[in-house]
Structure 1
Amino acid sequence: MLVQLVSSALAWACHTSLIFFVLPISFLLVWRLWKFTVRPWLRPHEPKEIPYWIPFLGHTVGFLRSSDKLIEYGLKYTGNNHEVFGVQTVDRKLYIVTDPQDVSAVFRDTASLGFDGYLNELLISFGFTKEAIKKIWHKPSDDDEKMISETINPERMNFIHLAEDIFKRQLLSGEKMDRIRNDIMSTLHQSIQWRQLDFCIKSSNGNGRQISLYSLCRFTMVEAATRSLFGSHLHNLDPDIVENMLSFGDHAWQVIFRLPTFLNLDVTAPRKKLMDALRVFVQLPESQRSEQAWAIKNVLDASDSFDIDFESRASVLLLMYWAANANEHNIAFWVIAHILYDENLLELVKKETEAAWPNGTLDINYLAANCPHLEAAFNEALRCYGGAVISRKVLRKTIIGNKELQPGHAIIMPSRQLHMNESAWGYDAREFDHTRFLKNRSLDRHPAFRPFGGGVTYCPGRVLAKQQVYGMVAILFRRFDMKLAMGGNGMKPQFPRLDDTTPRLGIADPAKGMDVLVDMWEK
């Protein structure tokens, strides 16, 4: 009797365990069949969604590991026809738009598609307090006398649109941009000197040196941008400010995607050091911030008018500081690397840039307008290594590329997939060929070329960025003889690959451990 009871109990336990195992699997299979097979067939007007197995989580992990690879998979899944498709993450659906005409349509539709929602999330990620978030979207009225000062906010914009406007006015061609550009060029002239390059030297041999091109570009460009925005003030508060910004920039994606701090993130330490310096800076009397850029002064004045707390003031400056340093050092690296790997291009660029030194003084305006081979290399580097993701939020139901997009979700326009589109760029779209921009001078206006975004988020700093990179190239080739360091076998080393292991927020870094070594002699 006892044996029979035990046997029955075991049989029931096995049966129950089987049910608990089979039922979830059955539900999962039915759910997946409905969501990714039946529903798309019933609703062909909606974007196809890339299948996944774990509800709610979706493709979150894959997107964080390599958004580029996930998007490439999505293109293949939809037949490489560049139709709009969907990617589900833990908190939202992303509509991926990669067709040049669809991207142009997104930029035009400012009524149904907005940027403010994304910007609000970005500000929260960078540390804005809840109280400040309420204040920055407040549109001033007649009762807000302090907020509508004729000298600060005559157009009565909310704080965030006012800050955007200030930043754009600083970077548009004219006296304000000339001043910040001159500060950048002055720092480049001071930094790119033989005695100042110890930080990037790998070895010395007689009168020559072998240097790390990546280290040279990183430190020099961020140093120049830092001093153009803050003068010497941040250096006085933190002598390691440049290194901390570089480290922050390497891991800024962890802030953008709001990874939880308990994960012991790499971005935590440099972010804290930068915020410590900026908290002190924003509380200094204006007389002790005399070297700050016009935009920094006016954003802080606006912060005072809107009664923004000091923590949020430091946060908005961190966002501006990071944005000013997100791309220039990487694009400089790729441009110079390709020039050094191509002896013919090297000679042409040296000849072009040398002509920009009348009487021994660099004419930056001449340089920016009269260097076709340098410009072609610059544009091709932007095309090949640009990884910026342009975002919009769907505010109301709209049609893009014959697909119906629902409100509340986000649109993602990855520039890399635009720039690698073979229909626009040809069969060799994935190859670096600067001559394509020489053969067709209108390519830099092609709808498939979006290194600086578009629409309301068209980068206001594009002219300054170009001049900064060109200036660095011209100074280097004026002061030094430079050539690519050969490998141990006497052959050219492998050209660096781009880093595809972390989410890209702009121009891609070279893959970890890859660099370009340069043999250099002072002229």
Structure 2
Amino acid sequence: MIEDLMNLRWGIPVNAFTVPVFSIAVLWIGWRIWTFTIRPWLRPQDPVVLPYWIPFLGHSFAFFGNSDELLERGLDYVGRSNEIFGIQTLKRQLYIITNPPEVSIAFNDNTALHFDGHLNELLENFGFSKEGLRLSWHIPKPGDWCYLPGNEINPELASLNRFTEDMYRKQLLPGEKMDVMSRVFMRSVFDTLQWDKLDFCTVESTEKGKLLSLRELCRYTLVEGATQTMFGSHLHKIEPRIVEYMLRYNDNAWMVFFQYPDFFGNSPITEPRRVITETLEKFIEMPDEERHEQAWSIKNILAWQKVMNIDLRARASVLLMVYWAANSNEYNISFWVLAHLLHNPELLRMVKEETEAAWIDGVLDIKLLRTNSPNLEAIFNEALRLNGGAMVSRIVREPITLGGKQLKPGNAIIIPARQLHKNEKVWGQNSGDFDAFRFKKHKALSRHASYRPFGGGKTYCPGRVLAKEEVYGFLATLFHRFDLKMAEGKGPGGGKQVFPSLDDSSPALGITGPVKSHDVLISATQRVV
């Protein structure tokens, strides 16, 4: 039949090459018509799927290459209606949710849309064995080796995963435990931001001052501070280049989250992941009394891991997840805030007035700074809006209808922050522009359902207040100790520097940084304080 159709209908010669090629073409055309024309017409209750060319692979390459561009194409495909649509990856279909009311429902539904299924995949990606994963969800019962009623570490006898979440939350939510971390962080910043210690970000030195790289200034200072708050100096003693390895890990962490192929150990994530994991394993094996600089949460998590008797690699994997989470956003948001300030001297002047007011008798009052800096607050929120690229994910565990569309178990939902943050129906026609006073003029926007820099629902970021104190404290120290301005003649052709571009070349996990080759060069001189 195929041969007759080829020869009689279209005059295509019949041979060993043309027959299979023609057959595949017919099957492919049939698949396209069925998948993207007939089936959507027969099942209007299903989310429409953005068309793709290769069965099974779907949008996998486009998602890993430039996920923002892919999501924007999806929004165009549904006429910018914010209707739920699907994209197909090798593993499963992803339902993209961008309508604010539906986003709120999705964040608050912990039954049909569950984070635990996604957490299991993350734990495996980070290094958990099947046995370690089983033990991490085990709830102690009478007669178990881990049943210790009345113990002070885990009195509620929660599973290790729930206990870890609880410790993390208690450490990071406002209170004395968070304040301890904030103080340790600021001590690290005070130590790092000394005129004679800026080699890590100095491009050149002159008699008049230094030329600094804003990118390197933010990256090193913030990751060094976070490392000190969690582990003190312990990791540095084991691996002196731990900050460098964490930065390299962070640059490629999306490969872990999305199970990017390792290519026989040649992936850019492989070496930093191995070094950090081995460093954390050595840290865990240290006697308890020698880990005296560790954070309260780290101490308790390690103690209950020991009770549960999970393997060393799984223990290190948990710490790696926590360590990564502490370093995934602050340096990038600091970069963007400073980039906008340096490109606008009037904004810089206004913010410096606010940060200097928080220095009282030579001591920085971080609480005063955080609660009494309206201009910095507005600029911080706007930078979060424009550069927040996190994609919140949940596994569909039960059938659920959302926005008139039926979501099927086994697939996943994605809530992309950048598409929420640029919704023109909420943010206006200038949604893609930086408006320094947007959140100052319209304070309610910071609570809008389409503003999700810290996620929402059960996984609403507990460290959001601490992160703000860390960024504000870093800026206040920088402005207090140095006079900064954008270096002149360092742009193209010796002209003015161009504002850095957002790096959208890979899936975002939080605040997206600038294109690696883009930077802001700063002229810095030391202030007499």
- Normalising by structure 2, we get a TM-score of 0.95
Counterpart of 1:398 in structure 2: which amino acid?
A: I
**Which range moves more in the overlay, 381-390 or 133-142?**
133-142
Aligned to 1:58: 58
Give yes or no for contact 2:86–2:95 (8 Å, CA) kept in 1.
Answer: yes
Q: Structure 2: how far apart are the matches of 1:316 and 1:48?
A: 37
Does residue 1:92 correspond to 2:118, yes or no? no
Q: How does 1:50-449 map to 2 (within 5 A)?
A: 50-144=50-144, 146-149=146-149, 150-263=151-264, 264-449=266-451
Q: How does 1:7-86 map to 2 (within 5 A)?
A: 14-86=14-86
**Which range moves more in the overlay, 85-94 or 251-260?**
251-260
Give yes or no for contact 2:108–2:458 (8 Å, CA) kept in 1.
Answer: no
Identity %: 50
Q: Structure 2: how far apart are the matches of 1:336 and 1:34?
A: 51
Q: CA deviation at 1:54?
A: 1.1
**Which range moves more in the overlay, 202-211 or 237-246?**
202-211
Counterpart of 1:384 in structure 2: which amino acid?
A: L
**Which range moves more in the overlay, 430-439 or 481-490?**
481-490
SS at match of 1:101: helix
Q: CA deviation at 1:13?
A: 8.6
Q: Structure 2: how far apart are the matches of 1:482 and 1:262?
A: 44
Give yes or no for contact 1:148–1:155 (8 Å, CA) kept in 2.
Answer: no
Give yes or no for contact 1:136–1:158 (8 Å, CA) kept in 2.
Answer: yes
Counterpart of 2:243 in structure 1: which amino acid?
A: V
- Normalising by structure 1, we get a TM-score of 0.96
Q: CA deviation at 1:290?
A: 0.7
Counterpart of 2:511 in structure 1: which amino acid?
A: I
Per-residue CA shift, 1:267-315, capped at 9, x if unaligned?
A: 1111111111111111111011010001111110110111111111111
Per-residue CA shift, 1:201-252, capped at 9, x if unaligned?
A: 1112213111000000000000000011001100000000000100111111
Moved over 6 A (4+): none
SS at match of 2:15: helix
Aligned to 1:458: 460
Aligned to 1:478: 480
Per-residue CA shift, 1:484-519, capped at 9, x if unaligned?
A: 112356753110001011111111110120000010
Question: RMSD of the TM alignment (CA)?
Answer: 1.4
Give yes or no for contact 2:481–2:526 (8 Å, CA) kept in 1.
Answer: yes
Q: Structure 2: how far apart are the matches of 1:199 and 1:16?
A: 64
Aligned to 1:8: none
Give yes or no for contact 1:147–1:153 (8 Å, CA) kept in 2.
Answer: no
Q: Structure 2: how far apart are the matches of 1:287 and 1:154?
A: 23
Q: Structure 1: how far apart are the matches of 2:445 and 2:20?
A: 60
Counterpart of 2:361 in structure 1: which amino acid?
A: N
Quick one: which of 509, 513, 517 aligns to 1:513? 517
Unaligned runs of 5+ in 1: 1-10
Q: Structure 2: how far apart are the matches of 1:272 and 1:450?
A: 33
Give yes or no for contact 1:147–1:305 (8 Å, CA) kept in 2.
Answer: no
Counterpart of 1:467 in structure 2: which amino acid?
A: E
Per-residue CA shift, 1:74-126, capped at 9, x if unaligned?
A: 00011111110001110100000011111001012112110001111001111
Give yes or no for contact 2:132–2:314 (8 Å, CA) kept in 1.
Answer: yes
Q: Structure 2: how far apart are the matches of 1:337 and 1:175?
A: 33
Aligned length: 513
Per-residue CA shift, 1:19-59, capped at 9, x if unaligned?
A: 21111100110111011101101111110001112111111
